[in-house]
Amino acid sequence: MKAASVTDYRELARRRLPRFLFDYIDGGSYDEVTLRRNVADLREVALRQRILRDVSAIDLTTKVLGEKMAMPVILAPVGLAGLNSRRGETQAVRAAESRGVRFCLSTVSACGIAEVRGAATQPFWFQLYMMKDRGFIRDLLARAATAGCTTLVFTVDLPLSGARYRDVRSGLSGAPGLPGKLRRGAQMLVRPGWLYDVGLNGRPHTFGNLTPLFGKRARLEDFFGWISDNFDASVSWPELQMLRREWQGQIVVKGILDAQDAQQAVALGADAIVVSNHGGRQLDGVPSTARALPEIAAAVGDRVTVLADGGVRSGLDVVRMLALGARAVLIGRPWVYALAARGQAGVEHVLQLIDAEMRVAMALTGCTSINDVDGRILVADEMRKPG
């Protein structure tokens, strides 16, 4: 099967990955209402088709937080991404560099900061979850700074992990001991390609950045229980102030769905925000990003860089997000599906597809520059109103 879209890569990933890993990527929380809304609402955003304009030279380049990018797309932080292909995060950072975009490494990656830095030739971003051990957090920040990370993405919408029923059914969580191991083992055995590439040759299987806390003999079955014990549910606005003192680079607050929260983040020194509902993986039933984005973008104006994620499956969706008020877009599932299917080459291809799809969408809306893409290319203002 030759992948011609993100949807094709999703199917290839489903065929290649053990069920517990595919469901971890693909699934959301509770009944996955918000997961579906993210995709459906974004697809409902109608664009104004314009004709007879010179669109022979389309420029996708932009600057995000002072960094030049070939297009306004960032590879979002995805937990355990390195288990989907051999040393997966190192492949992803190389793919991002080859296409001129930024990669953001998750706190809970399989490959640690130093390993990813060894695979990279340019700066990458680092995503942070706040943990109870503030000494470890300071050490983690120091490691990220030493690796040359320019931007810290502080994820704020995970004080507790959402109820992800697919992970329970697949045996990724809630299946301790021998029964859980047997269930996951059976899923691995029916995916021999993954078993050879990752299971046998993708070692060491650790939780990269968390090894000092978790240990080198980490067990997947313990991962979610460890998160519950170590992630800090008491985190509040003073932690953002602490990070502003500790981190010398740019700070992005990820997980904003409310205009008042966005304004508070700006007041406390955030350089950017990500309008996000964690890909529908946390509180189910909240608005889609497409619904929340316009009000939030209007509330903060030009005081902060507005980024967004959630439901993006094509370059056309990227253009829609920009029209709704984002300066750039983070993509998560699309790059991980491609990584699972074809490794670095797959991620590069997905970025190539997004580039081509953006060019078509911009040409047919009469835009030749990223700066031309704004609310004026929307057919009507329904999607610009609060949902």
The CA-atom distances, in angstroms, between 158 and each of 198, 213, 330, 342 are 28, 19, 18, 30
Q: Is 205 a catalytic residue?
A: no
Q: How far apart are CA 90 and CA 231, in angstroms?
A: 25
The CA-atom distances, in angstroms, between 106 and each of 83, 245, 301 are 13, 21, 28
Q: Which two tokens stand for residue 113?
A: 């900061």
Of 55, 38, 45, 62, the C-alpha closest to 377 is 45
CB-hemisphere CA count at 13 Å for 266? 16
* Beta-bridge partners for 59: 369
Q: At 261, is the secondary structure helix, strand, or coil?
A: helix
- Residue in this structure with the two tokens 């191991």, named with its chain if needed: 181
Angle at CA of residue 66, ends 103 and 96, nearest 5°? 20
R_g over Cα of the chain: 20
* Beta-bridge partners for 131: 231
CB-hemisphere CA count at 13 Å for 314? 16
Backbone angles phi and psi of 153, in degrees to 5: -105, 105
Q: Which two tokens stand for residue 174?
A: 């809630």
The CA-atom distances, in angstroms, between 136 and each of 51, 107, 132, 228, 231 are 56, 12, 9, 17, 12
Q: Report yes or no: 148 and 123 within 8 Å, Cβ to Cβ.
A: yes
Q: At 106, is the secondary structure helix, strand, or coil?
A: coil
> Which residue out of 278, 281, 342, 359 is catalytically annotated?
278
- Residue in this structure with the two tokens 């040759």, named with its chain if needed: 201
Catalytic sites, residue numbers: 278
